[in-house]
Chain A
Amino acid sequence: KAGVTQTPRYLIKTRGQQVTLSCSPISGHRSVSWYQQTPGQGLQFLFEYFSETQRNKGNFPGRFSGRQFSNSRSEMNVSTLELGDSALYLCATSPGENTEAFFGQGTRLTVV
């Protein structure tokens, strides 16, 4: 069974640009959550999608958005990038509610 796939693995962007990250869940998993990991703030929850609906959102500005498609694949978008957005972005997928969450390898975003 394939694991959680995140693309791309690495990205370098310039301040002010926007970026889109992708997450393909394990087959049969309908919940996709996104997390930001930085040395200073640790792992922080961004948002969670289930059946194409955002069910929960963390404390991030509106520049951070996401969506989920009918095949459960999810994308997150960050607009007007800031240096502080440099981080490892991780997605986690689950088969249902409050069950095991499996993480992808992450996308490392560097904003210069």
Chain B
Amino acid sequence: GEDVEQSLFLSVREGDSSVINCTYTDSSSTYLYWYKQEPGAGLQLLTYIFSNMDMKQDQRLTVLLNKKDKHLSLRIADTQTGDSAIYFCAESSHGGYNKLIFGAGTRLAVHP
């Protein structure tokens, strides 16, 4: 079946790196996504990775994909207070067109 799991909370000090982890079950997923949600807002697409890639870097964001273990991670370098939000991992469901399966979200708290 389709399932995406994430840890629920992460607390980091400002300036440190944050690593948010995610596991998924659908080995045929073509795309894997990271979204950010701030209070009262919709979902902001941060980055995505094709399933045939191992890594993608975009400024302070680094996505690592271990397809064998079905493990996805998002690293945020030099974490700032503005990064405090909920981060969602999502996989595209194979054959499901644009159907995304989301994890429960990881709440990132950045403290001074």
Contacts and interface: CB of A to CB of B under 8 A. Distances in A.
Contacts of A103: 35, 42-45
Interface in A7-59: 31, 33, 35, 42-43, 45, 48, 50, 55-56, 58
A56 B41 contact: no
B33 A98 contact: no
A102 interface: yes
Contacts of A48: 96-99
Q: How large is the interface on A (under 10, 10 to 19, 20 to 34, 35 or more residues)?
A: 20 to 34
Contact of A90 (B42, B92, B99): B42
Interface residues of B, number: 23
Contacts of B45: 100-103
Interface string A81-112: 00000000010101001111111111000000
A104 B43 CA distance: 7
Nearest to B88: A43
Contacts of B98: 31, 33, 48, 50, 56, 92, 94, 97-99, 101
